[in-house]
Amino acid sequence: MLIESVCIPKRLLTTVSETCTLEDALNILEESGFRCVPVLDETGKFFRGNIYKMHIYRHKSNGGDMSLPVTHLIKNATKFIHLNSSFFKIFFTIKELPYIAVLDANDQFYGILTHSSLLGILSQSWNVKEGRFALTIASTGRKGDLANMTKVISKYSDIASCITLDVGRDEYIRRTIITLPADTDKETCDLIIKALEKKDFFVAQVEDLQQPLS
């Protein structure tokens, strides 16, 4: 994936230097309105971690010294990706973070990838804007399952997108989400579901992407 096209570059970000005191960092956070910001080294080139407003407030409320360097409360120092990182690396690194730091080929800080940007990428994978029905098809993960289900569907419709997820919590260990094109009607969708079920696939969910969210 092209991270460079979806991340926010350094020049547009509020950052804190590692030479800042906790008091200075808190003022920057208050002025920016962000709950956390990246901490960079003195040169502004290298990522040191993140500083969170809540951690500074907790430190202050406990009578902590606000003249200490911001590095005293730095977090997520090892949480970063590179511009050429895979989607799986990104997905499992960002987890509960509000954003993930992005480094270039020289390990210099390039910018951040936010949760909302990642969700936007997933939305594109689902092909929400170009799709009509999203079918969640459960299977046992047998060899050839994906080929067989796409063969069934292609008899009635094109496929706008396809995502496969391994679940492993019950007898159905794989979920495949297939999005049908925007011009697919309900009758065609029903025919596809019946054809899939005849081939022993279980259609666990059908979502109409053109229906407004409740």
The string of pLDDT tens digits covering residues 172-199 is 578 888 999 989 999 999 999 999 999 9
Residue at a domain's end among 120, 149, 164 = 120
Are 47 and 24 in the same domain?
yes
In a domain, 113, yes or no: yes
Are 104 and 43 in the same domain?
yes
Are 110 and 154 in the same domain?
no
* Band of residue 8 on the pLDDT scale cut at 50, 70, 90: very high
Are 9 and 115 in the same domain?
yes
Cβ of 30: how many Cβ atoms within 10 Å?
Answer: 11
Per-residue confidence (pLDDT) for residue 125, from 0 to 100: 61
- Domain of residue 66, residue span: 3-120
Residue at a domain's end among 71, 90, 120 = 120
In a domain, 214, yes or no: no
pLDDT digits (tens, 9 = 90+) for 93-114: 887 788 999 999 999 999 999 9
Are 94 and 148 in the same domain?
no
pLDDT reading at 1 higher than 60: no
Are 13 and 116 in the same domain?
yes
Structural domains counted in the chain: 2
Residue at a domain's end among 120, 139, 163 = 120
In a domain, 171, yes or no: yes
| Top-confidence residue, 208 or 70 | 70
Are 101 and 204 in the same domain?
no
| Top-confidence residue, 63 or 161 | 63
pLDDT reading at 171 higher than 80: no
pLDDT digits (tens, 9 = 90+) for 11-39: 999 999 999 999 999 999 999 999 999 99
In a domain, 213, yes or no: no
Query: Could you tell me if 146 and 175 are in contact, meaning their C-beta atoms sit under 8 angstroms apart?
Result: no
Are 72 and 164 in the same domain?
no
Query: Could you tell me if 130 and 181 are in contact, meaning their C-beta atoms sit under 8 angstroms apart?
Result: yes
CATH number of the domain to which 99 belongs = 3.10.580.10
Are 68 and 142 in the same domain?
no
Please tell me the distance from the alpha carbon of residue 16 to that of residue 70, in angstroms, as a whole number.
Answer: 8
CATH number of the domain to which 136 belongs = 3.30.70.260
141: Cα separation from own chain's centroid? 25
Of the candidates 145, 156, 142, 154, the residue with the CA atom closest to the CA atom of residue 190: 156
pLDDT digits (tens, 9 = 90+) for 135-164: 999 888 788 999 999 999 999 999 988 888
Count of helix runs (H) and strand runs (E) in the chain:
6, 11
* Band of residue 49 on the pLDDT scale cut at 50, 70, 90: very high
